[in-house]
Amino acid sequence: MGLAAILGIAIVEGAGGACGKSSPDNEAMKLAPCANAAQDEKAAVSDSCCAQVKIIGQNPSCLCAVMLSDTAKSSGVDPKIALTIPKQCNFAHRPVGYKCGPYTLP
């Protein structure tokens, strides 16, 4: 739950409206199942994480803002690992090559 609250703050601080009309808290709560997968490259990515990332990933700028915020990083999220989650979920239509801060989605 801590990560979810942190990601909510991240959207406010880093997105500048990147997540549309949804409140930051609502978007952050959806990513709570991804906490372990965003911190440990050897952690399994759960089906519930993949489902939420697929929804939020329809707007790559929102997903990027959430995953790259200073607040998310301070909670233990490793952006290099977090940004690999869409690939680990085997999404056919993920934003391959999308520039997200200093990182590029694989």
CB 87, CB 94: distance < 8 Å: yes
pTM exceeding 0.95: no
Q: Please give the Cα distance from 66 to 30 (Å, whole number).
A: 11
83 Cβ neighbours under 8 A, 6+ residues apart: 64, 67, 100, 103, 105, 106
pLDDT in tens, 51-73: 988 888 888 888 887 777 665 67
User: What local confidence, expressed as pLDDT, does residue 42 receive?
Assistant: 92
Domains of the chain: 2-104 (1.10.110.10)
pLDDT in tens, 7-55: 444 434 444 467 778 654 566 667 778 889 999 989 999 999 999 888 8
